[in-house]
Structure 1
Amino acid sequence: MIFEKFYFFNQLRKLLNFGERHSFLSSFFLGFSLNFALSPFGIWMILPLSITPFLIILDSASNFKRLFWIGFFYYLGYFAGGLYWITIALSVDWSRFFWLFPFSFLGIPIALAFLSAPTVYALWIFKNHPNLKIFLFAGSIFIFDLMRTYIFPQFPWNLLGYTLASSPWFLQSTALFGVFGLGLFALFLGAFPYLLLKKTTRHSGIFVCIFLSITFFAGGVRLLKNPSQSTSLSLCLIQPNIPQTLKWVPSFRKTTLERLHTLSTLATSSSPKNFSLLVIWPETAVPLFLEEEEVLRRQLTSFLPPNALLITGGGRRTSSSTFSFVNSTSPPQQKIWNSLFVLDPEGKILNIYDKVHLVPFGEYVPFRKALQALSVSHFIDRTLDFSEGEGLQNVYLPNYPPFSPLICYEIAFPHHVLNSNFSRPEWILNITNDAWFGTSTGPYQHLQMAQVRACEEGLPVVRVANTGISAIIDPCGRFLNLLPLNQTGTLRGLLPKSLPPSFYARYGNWSPLFLLLIFGTFMGISHLCTFLFKKKKEKLL
């Protein structure tokens, strides 16, 4: 072959031969490398360097058992590298969560890898049909991402689509097909060199290149045609930067509230009087049950001008008791919620939203009864599970545009920002406390999810985080204002205008199925063309 004359291709062949001989180790590191496509690195060009060698190594598997384990180690590398921040989050409260360390460091990546590994099954069953096996492999990954988002374990962190979300032009495709469709683009972008290398799939590889190029440049056109525009609503985001180790300490409570009040007073002192104003504090900014603190509410809102409202996170419970956020001695019937409150300048509560999607082990203990039978029951009995809210909703306030409230990782769920009657809000508000993540990649990954939700729905996203990263994001996913991680401060800006409902906003997760059908149709046509060309060539011979 002519390629053998070139040093690069000789070295590449040696590398692939090494990968085939050490398939498990190579697969692990190839999967690990995929994390560099995620935020904060955003090196999405690494996709072909990770996925194509992985597919070549899978081709070398002599039986299905080996194929399964190659897939397992690839996914293990991806999840181990992308979810290491969970261990950091648990280390904040070592005495309470130390028993979860082995599970978070090894158990979660291994469990997700086992759930993911069957996606390679299509590559074995249809190994003699190259186009079909790649198409079904893409479909199986799509189904797996849907499953782990909405069915089990309901943990949609680092879906494959986020590996391509750092490209502003590719990101625009989420307005059509959502993050699951972006995952299909990511897979085919990673696999197109593999398709081009094989004669039987070369036509498919050419089609994929053309389709990806059109998608990429169409995204650039969409950005040019939709410049950011602002409404008259003024926003003031407060980032108090309270360490997680001090957040729930009773003696530090006064310092927390004073910092919030001081930052808010300084930020609103020069606010324009002719604009409506929203001052927004992060998730659980007030470490108290606000409904029971009427005097405190009036004190907290004393800085508000007449044209302003305060939105803050806080706790809510069914009735007064001895409950503590740190050590619970509450009776079993006690219910508490992680809530968002809207307060007027007199401290009156205008609206409440209770969080629906709770964080496992952070806000509730899964399989509590089973775990109580184990030696960790002492630590479980010290905690009380948060209760789920009644459901997603829009918040309507007089003279303010309606918004969809999402607390913490509720922003991670695609097409989950509107209420059941499909009444469309004008923006999305995400309040969160990312202090648990420390300086890991967790806060950046969480921010990227908010960015993708904005582009998917065609709605601006306002994100307010305790330790950062707070941001105002326009409906095309552009960051208009941003306050860095672990910085105390305020962020001022105007609410961006929303766009008309996107294709994905209208049809939800049916739209990526349409994209999968497009890929399948053209790959089927290319397979037929290759087959007919081969038959014609055989007749001539």
Structure 2
Amino acid sequence: MILSTLKGTASRVKSASLVWQNWLSFIAGLAMVFAYAPYSQWWLSFAALTCWGTLVHGQSPKLAAVRSYFFGLGWFGAGISWVHVSIDQFGGLPLIASLGLMALLCAYLALFPALASYLSARCSTSRQLNLLLFPSIWLLTEWLRGWVLTGFPWLSIGYSQLNSPLASLAPIIGEVGISFIMLVIVTSALTLYFKQQVKLAGALLTSCVLGILVSQQLTFVKPSGEKKSVALVQGNIAQELKWAPEQEWPSMLKYLDLTRANYDADLIVWPESAIPKIEPLAGEFLDMADSAAALNNTAIITGIINYNFESKEYFNSLIVLGKESATDTSGSYFYPNANRFYKHHLLPIGEFVPFQEWLRPIAPFFNLPMSSFTRGNYIQSNLKANGLSITPLICFEIAFPEQLHANFKADTDMLLTVSNDAWFGTSHGPHQHMEIAQMRALEFGRPLVRSTNTGVTAAVDHQGQFIARIPQFEEQVLKADVALVKGYTPFSRYQRYPTYILATLLFLLIIGVTRKTKI
């Protein structure tokens, strides 16, 4: 009787302990949000990952997956809570339904860290999670997260290191490489703490530290001595007014009025879909803006929706008005000229609706304005504007470095991204979006300009640091001088392949060691 009672008590204590460890994983995931913009406490990602690693170390595949799933729920629940803002304010759904959709998205994304932990434990000879296996497998599951269902690579852990000592690795191995090195550092340190595979863990940790120190001494691109002045126009038009028919001309004239005092800039940029009228029907206004820009010896790049009446297709596009080349001072725009960019990586629900025949009748959320776009080509020509060669990406595309790599040219002078983050209100989403853009500038070693409807509008140098930015939710124009550069970063040439090769070699090495040591 007493023995039975003691066993029952021990079982309950063990069960309670497991529950608390799951909640600790969840809290560690929640803390990750403060490592990203706008908080930018980069050290917190190391602290959170260390807490998580301690909780999953030596666990069975099932327990490791469960704890990592709770970590993922906290990580994404706090990190992408801004998605709820767009669903709640513009989706036309009851609060309970919008929260349910948000929870469903987080539950889906949390599957990927859980899968990484499960596979890390399964691949171990002892069938208990070997932390040193985790970095390589994490890269595989993060690649899946960026590919499955068109991909959602938001909040990759390397973005949290934009202002840390690891930032010097970005031009060499990119954000994905930083993520890998972060995990190697954390798992090696924990393996040393647990006194397992001490020599190997020590060698890995030492190699990472030396690699970071060496990378800080390397320079791949240098200023060319040439500067270009840019004017980035932030119209601050409320999302609920943006597509109202009676607001078409007031919105377009606002951008023209804000531009009028800034024609002395070499390049003027308006945000994504700044012109709330389809391009074939906006000829009168476009001719006016084109003539004004050409007359003042400058160029305007603007977002606009193009509609092909023959194919009945919509395209989220960028076009160039005014001075296209260094020798052409006349108006260069005509419809449909080739100096344009069509967005390729469309945002699910916002720009296309999968299974639309079933989802669209359910709620306004699945029938948002302009949610039936057609993809542009994956590889497109650079935009040419006033003698500049510019590699553009629209909104969500900036989160996909492989697409930027595919369109990055030998003569690219500048990176450009435009967006309309009014959907996400005062949340931290627009700041995370800006942080991602900064990482692209650092990886590819090119200055970047970003024009948005409500912010964050900014100019960034080739090191990913702000040249200038303006406050959110203000009608304002950012003026800045952007220094052009020459040279190429290793990442702009080889992209993610060196990191994947390194991760594969490390995985094979750890597998070989664990077979001998039975760990």
TM range (shorter): 0.7 to 0.9
Quote how far apart the aligned CAs of 1:377 are.
9.3
| Paired position in structure 2 for 1:409 | 396
Q: Which deviates more, 447-456 or 124-133?
A: 124-133
Q: Work out whether residues 64 and 129 of structure 2, in 8 Å CA contact, stay in contact via their aligned partners in 1.
A: no
| Paired position in structure 1 for 2:359 | 371
Matched, 1:295 2:284: yes
State the aligned residue count: 495
Task: Write the distance in 2 (CA, Å) between the matches of 1:378 and 1:429.
Answer: 29
Q: Which deviates more, 228-237 or 155-164?
A: 228-237
Deviation above 6 Å: which 4+ runs of structure 1? 96-100, 129-132, 521-528
Task: Write the distance in 2 (CA, Å) between the matches of 1:405 and 1:22.
Answer: 47
Quote how far apart the aligned CAs of 1:499 are.
4.1
Matched, 1:315 2:300: no
Quote how far apart the aligned CAs of 1:91 are.
2.7
Quote how far apart the aligned CAs of 1:340 are.
0.5
Structure 1, unmatched stretches of 5+, are 1-16, 321-332, 532-541
Q: Secondary structure at the match of 1:195?
A: helix
Q: Work out whether residues 64 and 121 of structure 2, in 8 Å CA contact, stay in contact via their aligned partners in 1.
A: yes
| Paired position in structure 2 for 1:119 | 116
Quote how far apart the aligned CAs of 1:287 are.
0.4
Task: Write the distance in 1 (CA, Å) between the matches of 2:270 and 2:194.
Answer: 55
Using a 3 Å threshold, how does the CA distance of structure 1 residues 100 and 464 change in structure 2: closer, same or farther? farther
Using a 3 Å threshold, how does the CA distance of structure 1 residues 220 and 485 change in structure 2: closer, same or farther? farther
Q: Secondary structure at the match of 1:174?
A: helix
Q: Secondary structure at the match of 2:130?
A: helix
- Aligned counterpart in structure 1 of residue 312 of structure 2, from 319, 334, 359: 334
Matched, 1:179 2:164: no
| Paired position in structure 2 for 1:23 | 21
Task: Write the distance in 1 (CA, Å) between the matches of 2:229 and 2:499.
Answer: 36
Q: Work out whether residues 243 and 276 of structure 2, in 8 Å CA contact, stay in contact via their aligned partners in 1.
A: yes
The superposition leaves residues 92-134 of structure 1 with CA deviations (integer Å, 9 ceiling, x where unpaired) of 3242797962453101100111233111124423556699933
Task: Write the distance in 2 (CA, Å) between the matches of 1:307 and 1:382.
Answer: 35
- Aligned counterpart in structure 2 of residue 249 of structure 1, from 230, 238, 244: 244
Q: Secondary structure at the match of 2:217?
A: helix
| Paired position in structure 1 for 2:102 | 105
**For residue 429 of structure 1, what is the amino acid of its counterpart?**
L
Using a 3 Å threshold, how does the CA distance of structure 1 residues 230 and 131 change in structure 2: closer, same or farther? farther
- Aligned counterpart in structure 2 of residue 432 of structure 1, from 410, 413, 419: 419
Matched, 1:445 2:432: yes
Q: Secondary structure at the match of 1:182?
A: helix
Task: Write the distance in 2 (CA, Å) between the matches of 1:33 and 1:471.
Answer: 27
* Correspondence 1:486-497 to 2 at 5 A: 486-497=473-484
Using a 3 Å threshold, how does the CA distance of structure 1 residues 65 and 151 change in structure 2: closer, same or farther? closer
Matched, 1:455 2:442: yes
Using a 3 Å threshold, how does the CA distance of structure 1 residues 245 and 381 change in structure 2: closer, same or farther? closer
Task: Write the distance in 1 (CA, Å) between the matches of 2:62 and 2:504.
Answer: 30
Task: Write the distance in 2 (CA, Å) between the matches of 1:212 and 1:133.
Answer: 19
**For residue 514 of structure 1, what is the amino acid of its counterpart?**
I
Matched, 1:73 2:70: yes
Task: Write the distance in 1 (CA, Å) between the matches of 2:250 and 2:224.
Answer: 38
Q: Which deviates more, 387-396 or 474-483?
A: 387-396
Quote how far apart the aligned CAs of 1:378 are.
11
Q: Work out whether residues 164 and 186 of structure 1, in 8 Å CA contact, stay in contact via their aligned partners in 2.
A: no
The superposition leaves residues 157-182 of structure 1 with CA deviations (integer Å, 9 ceiling, x where unpaired) of 11122132332x31221211121111
| Paired position in structure 1 for 2:226 | 231
- Aligned counterpart in structure 1 of residue 321 of structure 2, from 335, 343, 355: 343
Structure 2, unmatched stretches of 5+, are 1-14, 323-329
| Paired position in structure 1 for 2:37 | 39
Q: Secondary structure at the match of 2:196?
A: helix
Matched, 1:513 2:511: no
Task: Write the distance in 2 (CA, Å) between the matches of 1:476 and 1:377.
Answer: 42
Quote how far apart the aligned CAs of 1:403 are.
1.3
**For residue 240 of structure 2, what is the amino acid of its counterpart?**
T
Using a 3 Å threshold, how does the CA distance of structure 1 residues 65 and 525 change in structure 2: closer, same or farther? closer
Q: Which deviates more, 132-141 or 406-415?
A: 132-141
Using a 3 Å threshold, how does the CA distance of structure 1 residues 493 and 226 change in structure 2: closer, same or farther? same
Q: Work out whether residues 253 and 287 of structure 1, in 8 Å CA contact, stay in contact via their aligned partners in 2.
A: yes
CA RMSD of aligned residues (A): 3.4
| Paired position in structure 1 for 2:81 | 84
| Paired position in structure 2 for 1:478 | 465
Identity %: 24
Quote how far apart the aligned CAs of 1:217 are.
3.0
Task: Write the distance in 1 (CA, Å) between the matches of 2:340 and 2:399.
Answer: 21
Q: Secondary structure at the match of 1:468?
A: coil
Quote how far apart the aligned CAs of 1:420 are.
6.5
Please give the TM-score of this superposition, normalised by the length of structure 1: 0.82
Please give the TM-score of this superposition, normalised by the length of structure 2: 0.85
Quote how far apart the aligned CAs of 1:138 are.
1.0
**For residue 296 of structure 1, what is the amino acid of its counterpart?**
F
- Aligned counterpart in structure 2 of residue 201 of structure 1, from 197, 204, 225: 197
Matched, 1:282 2:255: no
